[in-house]
Amino acid sequence: MAPVEAVGARPLVVHVVYRFDTGGLENGVVNLINHMPVGAYEHVVLALTEVTGFSRRVRRDDVRFIALNKPPGHALRLYPRLYRLFRSLKPAIVHTRNLAALECVLPAWAAGVPVRIHGEHGRDVGDLDGNNRRYQWLRRAYRPWVSHYIALSTDLAHYLRDKVHVPAAAMSQIYNGVDTERFRPATGLRPDLDGCPFSPDEHWLIGTVGRMQQVKDQPTLARAFVQALQQQPDLRQRLRLVMIGGGPLLETVRSIVGEAGMAELCWLPGERSDVAEVMRGLSCFVLPSLAEGISNTILEAMASGLAVIATQVGGNAELVSQGSTGWVVPPADASAMAQAIVQLAQDPDSAAAMGRAGRSAAERQFSMQAMVASYQAVYDQQLRHRRIHHRTS
């Protein structure tokens, strides 16, 4: 299908998020903007609360960022401001993401925005299994004002179909893409990590990357690391834990490893911007989340040639092939995670083979080009449909 030809200026897409800060959802927005052809669409990022320094990851200089500094609660009081903003910007598309931004489709509709797309990227701690009736009701309530839905995993697509009653024709499922040029395996020996007290030559580094908040459940990984060394004391000479990210659970994680007398075996430097370099220095990647859509960090780890241990939530099992590219374990189960860690640490050749299989899958199934092309196709198709509908109505 040929792309829609812009009439005059490029069509404007306003990407609406709750907060534009470090996170997988926001990273997906960054990747989409950075890799979509410049001539296709113009972009504005609208955060209901704040825009942080994470916005510097957008490499284009024609992207505008707007923060509304919304207080907690419903955005009803912001509706007049949102209406005026949409009328002023005149976007062709408003693309909201996750429940916290969904309510913005109503003022977008009122302001005459022709296409309102809503993306479901994952669940939070208030709805880990998707059975929260209030959240289902809210999504149904806003459904009349959504032109089209995008689900990042088949799990989320089933949720929209079965719980929100979105028809198949009004929905697309698009996996996240990964930049396989930026995230790539180390050539030869794994490089030393800047500032890290451990050496990939001497130590087997298991690691994770992400904001330390409840839904990511990093304390379970810390407990699994402790249990792994308690079960196999001989691994203490070479097994090390690297946890990148800041957030409210950072001190909890430090307490867990500290009370176990293992603080010196862990490196917790807080948030870092050199994630690709960190991935190349690890031996194995672990994602202990309680909920996920399609995890960017899993894709980045696979592209970096790492075996992955992930929890059986959301779309994780759609990415990690059990026994082939890694292991999938139950959520919040430190014992099962410890067993998987021990198994890979004791068989590094098997872990390396899993990493090679993961790299191959990332290149074959989860390319950035495929993701961007899919989003652009949805944007183009929805604009074309609205123009045809407008001419015939």
For each of the chain's 393 residues, which pLDDT tens digit applies?
Answer: 334 333 447 999 999 999 999 888 999 999 999 999 999 999 999 999 999 999 999 999 999 999 999 988 777 889 999 999 999 999 999 999 999 999 999 999 999 999 999 999 988 778 888 899 999 999 999 999 999 999 999 999 999 999 999 999 999 999 999 999 999 999 888 889 999 999 988 999 999 999 999 999 999 999 999 999 999 999 999 999 999 999 999 999 999 999 999 999 999 999 998 999 999 999 999 999 999 988 999 999 999 999 999 999 989 999 999 999 999 999 999 999 999 999 999 999 999 999 999 999 999 999 999 999 999 999 999 999 887 554 434
Predicted pLDDT of residue 71? 86
Neighbouring-strand partners of residue 120: 151
Query: In 3D, which of 51, 87, 88, 91 has the Cα closest to residue 68?
Result: 51
User: Closest Cα to residue 245, out of 277, 224, 216, 203?
Assistant: 216
pLDDT score at 243: 97
pLDDT of residue 22: 85
The CATH 3.40.50.2000 portion of the chain extends over 12-177+367-392, 204-365
- Tell me the two tokens of residue 37: 């052809």
Q: What distance in Å separates the CA atoms of residue 266 and residue 229, rounded to the nearest whole number?
A: 12
Element (H, E) at 44: strand 42-47
Show the tokens assigned to 275: 């994630």
Question: CA-CA distances (angstroms) from residue 379 to 39, 97, 117?
Answer: 14, 15, 9
Residue-level pLDDT at 389: 52
pLDDT of residue 7: 40
Q: What is the per-residue DSSP string for 147-187?
A: SEEEESSHHHHHHHHHTS---GGGEEE----B-TTTS-PPS
In the CATH scheme, what architecture does the domain 12-177+367-392 have? Answer: 3-Layer(aba) Sandwich (3.40)
Q: How far is CA 33 from CA 57, 97, 115, 174, 247, in A?
A: 10, 15, 18, 16, 26
Q: Which helix (H) or strand (E) holds 243?
A: strand 239-244
Q: Are 217 and 288 in contact (CB under 8 A)?
A: yes
pLDDT the model gives residue 306:
98
Q: What pLDDT score was predicted for residue 9?
A: 77
Cα–Cα distance for residue pair 32/17, rounded to 1 Å: 14
C-alpha distance from residue 80 to each of 84, 105, 116, 140 (Å): 6, 13, 18, 23
CA 193-199-200 angle, to 5 degrees, is 85
Q: What's the token pair of residue 255?
A: 């307490």
Segment 19-50, tens digit of pLDDT: 999 888 999 999 999 999 999 999 999 999 99
Show the DSSP H helices in the chain as ranges.
Answer: 24-35, 79-89, 99-102, 105-110, 133-142, 154-162, 218-231, 250-259, 275-281, 296-303, 316-319, 334-345, 348-365, 368-392
Among 361, 278, 293, which residue's Cα sits nearest to residue 324? 361
Per-residue pLDDT, 393: 40
Instruction: Give the pLDDT confidence of 209-225 residue by residue, as tens digits.
Output: 999 999 999 999 999 99
| Cβ-Cβ contacts under 8 Å for 276 (sequence gap 6 or more) | 182, 183, 184, 300, 304
pTM for this prediction: 0.83
CATH number of the domain located at residue range(s) 204-365 in this protein: 3.40.50.2000
Q: Amino acid identity of 84?
A: R
